[in-house]
Structure 1
Amino acid sequence: MRDHLIFTLAATLGSMGELAGHARRGSWSWPGRSSVLGLCAAAMGIRRENDFSALDRLGMAVAIFAEGDPLRDYHTVQSVPSAAARRPQSRGEALRLARQSVRLGKGGAETSITLRDYRVGTLYGVALWGNGLAVLREALLRPAFTLYLGRKSCPLSVPLAPKIVAASDAATALTRLSLPPWQRGARAHAIATEEDLPGGRVETRQDRPIDRIAWHFAPRTVKILPCEIAPGVAGEAAA
C-alpha cells in the first residue's frame, strides 16, 4: 500500500500539449506529465524559472473518462519584423512603427494564420505518488495562481477536490475520485500510468520537462491499460 494524491480535471475546453511548431499547436487527447506538473506548480506558486525538482520526482497516472471532441481554432498572428530593431515597448507602438515603415516603402506588419487544437468536454482523474503529497494537496485546495487545462483560455469547470488515499496501485486509488455532479456514474475506459504493470500497450510521449525556460522536453514511456474505473463503486477498478 502507498499513499496517492488524487484529483479531478474537468474543463469545457482543454488543450493538452503536443510537439508544436509555429504554424500548428496540437493537443493530445489526455494531459501529459508536463501539463499536470505545470498545474501543480501553479497551485504551489512555483514560477517557470524556479525549482521543480520535488514535483519532477512524483509518479503519475491519468484515468481517461472523456477525451472530448476535437476543436480547431484558426488563429491570426501578426508580426512586425520591421519594428523589432527599434525595440517597441508595446504592441501599439510596434504597429505605429510598422505604418511608418510602409510609408517609407520598407514593408510593415506580416499576417499569418496558425492552427490551435483543443478538446471540448474533457474529464480526467489524476493520481500522484511520492513525497510531499500533503503540501501539494493544500496547494490544490488554495492555489497561488489561477489553474487551467493547458491554456489560459481553458479554465477548469469545477474545483479539483484533491484527497490523499492509500491503495495498492493508481487504478484502485482513482476509484475514490470525487466527480462533478453532472458526471456521477461516469466510468474511465483507460489509464495511462508510469507503473510497471502487465498488459496494455506502451506509448512514448515527449512530455517530460527538462528545461522549462527553453521549452525542452524528453521522451517518457507510459503504459496504456484498458480498465474500468468507476468512482464511488468499490471493487470496479481492474486493469
Structure 2
Amino acid sequence: MLALPIKTLLGHYIYDANRNEILAVSKDLFNYISEVQAGEVCPDSYKSDQEFQLLQSCGYCCDSPLQDVAYPSIDLLKVKLERNLRMITLQLTQSCNFRCDYCIYSENSLYNRTHSHNSMSVSTAKHAIEFFKMHSIDNPNPVVAFYGGEPLLRFSEIKQITQYAEQVFEGKHISFRITTNCSLLSEDMVKFFFDSGHEFYLLISLDGPQQIHDKSRHYANGESSYQAVIDNVHMILDNHPERNK
C-alpha cells in the first residue's frame, strides 16, 4: 500500500501515491496506516474496517499495479555515459563574495558543504575536460559549465580552461556556461566572453527589483548587492544589445 500518513493541526490525512491525491481520514485509520508503514502491524489486519473498505472500493489504499519502473532510455544509459555525455560542470571554487539567505551552501546549511576557500586546480579541470572528451565521442555540441561559489572569482583560471577545452574539442561546436551573481563582472571579462571568439552564456542570479533582491541576496558583509549586479547587466547590454533576447 503506497500511502503516506500526514498529520497537521487541522486533522489527519494520507497521501495516496497511486492516485497522487491527499485524503482526509479518521484518526484510527491514520494510526493504522502509520503502524503498517512502521512495520508494527500486519497490513491485512484492518481490511474489515468500513472506512478502509470504502476507500479501497474507490481505488485508494491499494497495492501498486506497477511491477517495474524504468526510464525509457534505461537500456541506452551505459552507452550514453560512455559515449554521449552532454555537459560537464566544474565547481571552480567554494568561495563566494555573497551570503544569500537561501543559499544551500550557507553556514546555516545542515546537509551541504558551507562556503570555504577550497578551489579546483587548473590541472584537475584539465583532467576533467579530458574525461569529458573521452565520454562524449558521439556528442557534436559539448558544453562546459563553470560553477561555484562564485566562479568569476577564478576568472584567470576560466580563461585557461576555456582555451584548453577548445583545443581538446577542436572540430566540435563547444560552448560554455557560467552561473554567476554578476557582481564581479568587468569589461575585460565581457570582452573575453563575447568578443574573443568563444561561445559563452551567462546565467545571472537576480531576484527582481531592489527591494525584493536585497531581502536575500547581499554581500558577505550584509551590504546591498543590487546596484552592482544591475549595473553590470546594463554593461553587457550596452556593449552587446543582441543579448537582450
When Rg is computed on C-alpha atoms for both structures, the one with the higher figure is 2
Q: TM-score, normalised by structure 2?
A: 0.25
Q: Which has the higher contact order (CA 8 A, sep 6+)?
A: 1
Q: TM-score, normalised by structure 1?
A: 0.26
